[in-house]
Amino acid sequence: MLTQSLVSDIIHQQRDFFKTGKTKDVAFRIAQLKTLKQAIVEHQPAIIQALRADLNKPEFETYTTEVGVIKEIDYAIKHIKSWTKPKKAAISVEQLPGFARIYPEPLGVVLIVGPWNYPFQLMISPLVGAIAAGNCAMLKPSELASHTSSVLAEIIQKHFDPAYIAVVEGGVEISKQLLAEKFDHIFFTGGTAVGKIVMEAAAKHLTPVTLELGGKSPCIVDADANIENTARRIAWGKFINAGQTCIAPDYLLVNQTIKQDLLDSIKKCIQEFYGDEPAASPDYGRIINQKQFARLAKFLQDGEIIMGGETNSDENYIAPTVIDSVSLEAPVMQEEIFGPILPVISYNDIQEAIAIVNEKPKPLALYLFTRNKNLQQRVLQETSSGGVCINDTVMQVGVSSLPFGGVGDSGIGSYHGKASFDTFSHYKSVLNKSLWLDPKFRYAPYQGKLQLIKRLIG
């Protein structure tokens, strides 16, 4: 395990490397992004194997939700030259002759702390932004996904100078050591409780943070929704990665008139996806560890199991499960589920559903299934969430042009595409004045000038 002094040494090396100015060269940034992409392509077999070992993740899901992060690299390479160009800013008449520009510049040395649920993609995606913006980066992958952590370390160590990008592996003690250091930005993805610890540590150094957290993302289904397509998209979004997705539909709010039809259709979709025995399906994952398994298993007592409910503690297996007759006060409705359990709550009027959403902390995502445009606008206006996806689930995360992030308890800041570049950049405002003309009205003595100033300001 690394000692505090070794962690500090790496950070000092990165600060020295950043001072050389090499990372500010756009051609250098593009070259590093291309290197990162090629490294991911070369190590795909190892990445697939590691994610299978950590989460029993199907190869298809690995490509679409983990290796697919190379799309973010392609997007950054395509747009980086326009992102890095200084932007003109308008100036008022009294500032003439002169001009204003806004210059994006890198922050310096940044820390990226990743989670265990998408342990590859959620480390690489923010790294793309850090590289594109011209920073050096320290990466701390989750020790709970140990196989993926090892592969990440191998990839970065093989292809990048640690004075530029480094991976530090380990548990809580290493995290504490890292958080005791001063960084120019900390990017954290994980749970709210740890997010508070990160923010508290960052405050001691006045370090800005991006916190990508989670919360109870509601899924509202109104009476006019297409039942078959809605059920399929909900089942897919809920049960990929065995429900361990920060933007998975956390609970279902369904109009009472279509409730039974929707549940019957969801049950049919689960059977189509995973067969009669999901435990034997090559396409269904496992819970990351015993601690999370035990936490989730308790939720099965919080309602009537209408499908699924089977568990196997030896394999950390929980079947795709839907529970009905759930109280809003039940534990399953009080914290983020982060597993393959879908509570169902019915409503008669949409205002009931909106009220339930607004009584809880602001979620990372909100899902709404309806063809009613007026209802879509009403839900958008009367609720607050990090993002919204209408008539689908989870797919919003794959749109690079949409900033991804939370609000309130679900997070601080955003990333993806240009938003990632912005997160790891400082926008420096520059006013450039000419010396050839120097009106004296702003200088003392002020006698006789006040009325002119009042007219100009008024």
The burial class, CB within 10 Å (0-12 / 13-18 / 19+), for 439 is exposed
**Cα torsion through 200, 203, 209, 213, rounded to 10:** 20
Report the SS3 class of residue 271: helix
Please state, as a whole number, how many other Cβ atoms lie within 10 Å of the Cβ of residue 157: 13
C-alpha 174/C-alpha 218 separation (Å) is 35
Please state, as a whole number, how many other Cβ atoms lie within 10 Å of the Cβ of residue 425: 22
Q: Which of 212, 219, 269, 336 is catalytic?
A: 212
Phi, psi of 125 (to 5 degrees): -60, -50
53, 213, 282, 283, 385 from 286: Cα distances, Å: 10, 21, 11, 10, 28
DSSP string for residues in 322-334: EEES--TTSGGGT
- Non-local (6+) Cβ contacts of 293 within 8 A are 287, 311, 313, 316, 318
Please state, as a whole number, how many other Cβ atoms lie within 10 Å of the Cβ of residue 280: 9
Q: Which of 136, 219, 246, 389 is catalytic?
A: 246
How does DSSP classify residue 93?
G
Q: Does 212 participate in catalysis according to the annotation?
A: yes
- Non-local (6+) Cβ contacts of 77 within 8 A are 30, 33, 34
Q: Does 219 participate in catalysis according to the annotation?
A: no
DSSP string for residues in 132-190: HTT-EEEEE--TTSHHHHHHHHHHHHHHS-TTTEEE---SHHHHHHHHHS--SEEEEES
What H or E segment, with its residue span, contains residue 388? Answer: strand 387-390
262: left (phi over 0), alpha (psi -120 to 50) or beta: alpha
* Nearest residue to 137 via CA among 63, 251, 232, 32: 32
- Supply the residues annotated as catalytic: 212, 246
